[in-house]
A and B are shown apart, each in its own frame.
Chain A
Amino acid sequence: MINLLSLYALPFIIVLILTIGIVKKVPVYEEFTEGAKDGFKVAVSIIPYLVAIIVGISMFRASGAMDSIAAFLAPLLNKFSVPVDSIPIMITRSLSGSATLGLFTEIAHKFGPDAYVTKLCAIIVGSSETTFYVLSVYFGSIGIKKFRYALIVGLLADFIGIIGAILVAQKFFL
């Protein structure tokens, strides 16, 4: 049922929009191509911001800083029965979507689908969006330089999400 929903959602939306367009006598082909013209411009305009954020985060990951932070946090999080192996995911989830998914796949392979750490990480990954990426690309695309409180709100919400994931995982799976 749920899988069906996600499978049919996209085709349904497309059919709906096009049908309403035709009914309302919108020249759908002309308007489609008119709108699509901006695709290249927008995609190319976000390259500088993508490079800045992705290079920075790739370097950060490559420096091994993540492991040091994980080692530093481990004793504290152990008290709340949070597995050490889930710590890197908590750090990367705000930084990089592909890195987070990569780490999650690694953990799922290493510990198997029934391990507590796999389930905790599944919740963390499934409930998150990469704050840094979204902010730099979305603001970058329209030339906003002062983010005001957007970053702090994004990071606080991520932090609340992690706490929530730890608590919920304990209730459901421990």
Chain B
Amino acid sequence: MNYIFYFLIVFSIIFGIINGRTQEVVNAILDGADVSVKIALSLIGIMAFWLGIMRIAEKSGLVQWIAKIIKPVTKWLFNDVPPENEAIGNIALSVSANALGLTNAATPIGLRVMQELKEVNESNNNDKETASDAMCMFLAMNTAGFQIIPATVIAVLVAVGSKNPTEIIVPTLIVTAFAFVSAIILAKFFQILYKNKSNFPFVKKEVNDD
């Protein structure tokens, strides 16, 4: 991430100067910073709402019940998390929220999942600053962005006068499902690769052994 951050900033400035777009690049700093804070502030309310709702779901045992049902799948996907942990139930909620296109609910639930995965990771006595396998798997599922109905896209198509905007649903579903499955397989593949990484003489070991 350090190199990506450095590259994004320094490359943009150099490229902007060459391109004669220095002013635009400088303006982008202010605009970007401004937008970031607006996004975060606009999240506060909806974040509070969903965290409240989810606390009820946890206290009533609903989340644990979901975790139990999907145990056969999650045991394989998240093998470093106890199968009846609340995180598992919340992962199911988060993936469902994404699948249904409920973006407002998906982010708060997703951040809550990360919090719970962090607690699991700490109780496993792992490094606090290093991502666990469960986190990587969860984010792989998340960044693949599995969605049943691409509501926003359909809205745009309707706005430009499409007569048949729903024709987009089936092809999108095929692609998004394919990408979702690929992401899971890739995450699993890299998990195994990284587990064996410590055996490679040329790679620095990054998980501590206590």
Contact = CB atoms under 8 A, between A and B. Distances in A.
Contacts of B145: 127-129
Contacts of A34: 52, 55
Contacts of B102: 9-10
Interface in B143-185: 143-145, 147-153, 156-157, 159-163, 165-172, 174-176, 178-180, 182-183
Contact of A24 (B21, B61, B148): B61
B40 A24 contact: no
B168 A62 contact: no
A46 B173 CA distance: 31
Given A59-B25, A65-B12, A123-B172, A104 B19 contact: no
Contact of A113 (B60, B136, B162): B162
Interface stretch (B31-39, B67-75, B76-84): B31-39
Contacts of A158: 143, 179
Contact of B28 (A13, A61, A173): A61
Interface size class of chain A, counting residues whose CB lies under 8 Å from the partner chain: 35 or more
Given A55-B28, A105-B156, A138-B139, A35 B172 contact: no
A79 interface: no
Contacts of B169: 2
Interface size class of chain B, counting residues whose CB lies under 8 Å from the partner chain: 35 or more
B147 A32 contact: no
A142 to B, nearest CB: 4
A164 B16 contact: no
A47 B160 contact: no
Contact of A63 (B13, B148, B156, B167): B13
B92 interface: no
Contacts, number: 345
A152 to B, nearest CB: 7
B8 A157 contact: no
| Main secondary structure on B side of the interface with A | helix
B150 A62 contact: no
Nearest to A128: B145
Contacts of A108: 156-157, 159-160
A127 B52 contact: no
A17 B47 contact: no
Interface string A94-115: 0000100100110011001110
19 contacts: A23-B60, A39-B44, A42-B108, A43-B41, A44-B40, A51-B32, A55-B29, A56-B5, A59-B8, A63-B21, A64-B15, A113-B157, A128-B145, A134-B139, A138-B142, A154-B143, A154-B144, A172-B170, A173-B171
Interface of B: 1, 4-5, 8-9, 11-13, 15-16, 19, 21, 24-25, 27-29, 31-33, 35-37, 39-41, 43-49, 51-57, 59-62, 98, 100-102, 105, 107-108, 110-111, 114-115, 117-118, 127-131, 135-136, 139-140, 142-145, 147-153, 156-157, 159-163, 165-172, 174-176, 178-180, 182-183, 186-187, 190-191, 193-194, 206
